[in-house]
Structure 1
Amino acid sequence: MLYADLHTHTLASDGTQAPAENVRLAAAAGLGAVAITDHDTVAGIEEALEAADRYGITVVPGVEISTVAGGTDIHVLGYYIDYTSRQLLDRLAELRSVRDKRNDMMLERLNGLGLEVTMAGVLASLQASKKADESIGRPHIADALVRKGYVASMAEAFDRYLGKDGAAYVNPPRIGPQTALQWIVEAGGVPVLAHPGLYGQDELIGELAGLGLAGLEVYHSDHSPEQEAHYLALAERHRLIVTAGSDFHGERNGVVFHAPVGARKTDIRVLEQLKQVKESRK
């Protein structure tokens, strides 16, 4: 049986590996497919697709769109999108501008707490220069905090400063998940709610299912076995496709964030389910 990991990040957003390296790692893990789902950008997809034949693996073009509902960050995955769509590219550029504003606000708060971190310093610590269509996220800021010795690990950076309950956390207005569903469908894609166990908003699943949500990321590196069983039942109740993803972001300071490629995987036949939804909505 072949398997698929449908949630990985690259240097195009807040991962540490080039897109082709994600593909190589997926092949080395024995997977049959891997999705490239960077935050609010599709800049890593073409390189990954070019590497697909080289490593004998299927690459699913995707994106992870940042939204807010009830004051909580909600992420919506979009699979088999038209990543060349001008409308989608413009919309993602708008989201990255909000992300940039959020980053500046967090840095301002960190400096107010006596932690001297600048965007120039964050950029200087990156493994590769950022292009205009790529994104900067909280893991980049967390990495800068580790490098400056303010925290001992990425986890500590999020717990103390950058996570939802952190001292420097901010959440400027963004689109809601309902809008993300619309954008993904209009780009020819299939929307799936990412890691629902991180939100504590189970009622949102039923609401979004009635608006075109096609799947639920039941198996995720940050879900407990109990959560996976719970969300599997919810996916079945709402007739949603069950997906799985490691949420791989690469390795920082010797620690893989969140988990290695293939740590969460599902039967590759899920790709046919996603494609069937895509075809049915044409």
Structure 2
Amino acid sequence: MAFLIAGLSPLQAQAIIASEPLTIGTSYSVSTHEAERRIHVVLPPDYEKSDQTYPILIMLDAGLNQDFFLTLGMERWNQLWQRSAPVIFVGVETVDRQRELLPPTGAKAEQERYPTAGESAAFRQWLAASILPLLREKYRDDGRAFLAGESAAGHFVAETWAIAPELFDGYAALSPSLQWNGQALSHSLAAMKRQDRPPLFISLADEGGDTEEGVLRLVENAGPNLCFADRRTDLAHANTLHGLLPEALQYLLPTEADWLEEYGLTLKCSEAPSDQVVHH
């Protein structure tokens, strides 16, 4: 070992000169639904260099042990390519996901499996009345806010878009769990009077069954301002977030970059196949 060390070049043997903490944002401790959780805020790279204002992106299920690093990395990768406009990135941690993200269910099997589920309305009120005002007080936003989530969080996003569309300026529901409560959300939307809502990016992977029926029904009745990412043949539920968040942000926060198509960074929005849409 001594001979090996002696043979190292000066560059290889160079000692660390200094170190410093790696700081990427600010973390706030907040509480709702009888549980403390954190929201993590990361500002655009040029935030401190100008007076520019930015939209807010709220990413659900984005605690440090959840999807924070993955989703922040994809958002920053988009910025490198100017695939989507820069945002004030906000990762909201969830603690009891089904309680916080899903509405009540009348399905006995769901009640037994998720006995705490059903308080999405209260969580939505908390976001609207507490978190958005906090962010707008502390940060230089441009008045716009966007909401994104996957699976149960995707259901929360779609539900918010359907019943309280005014809360956000755009929505991304990735593989939303629209099988919940007998596909109640898509049935409710089908019964509503058509209205203009903010843009919605919604995706479907290989879930099949009730989830597929619910998504197709919602897409059929969604009206304009919709990008439906039909990826049943190439994505699974488990990799939808990895595969489609960059595309969702491109749809909701477009830029004027004219090289995206050249590098394959394109949107793939589909129409619901009319022979597979469930109307009942």
| TM-score bin (small chain) | 0.3 to 0.5
The two structures have a TM-score, normalised by structure 1, of: 0.33
The two structures have a TM-score, normalised by structure 2, of: 0.33
Q: Which has the larger radius of gyration?
A: 2
| Higher RCO structure (Cα 8 Å, ≥6 apart) | 1
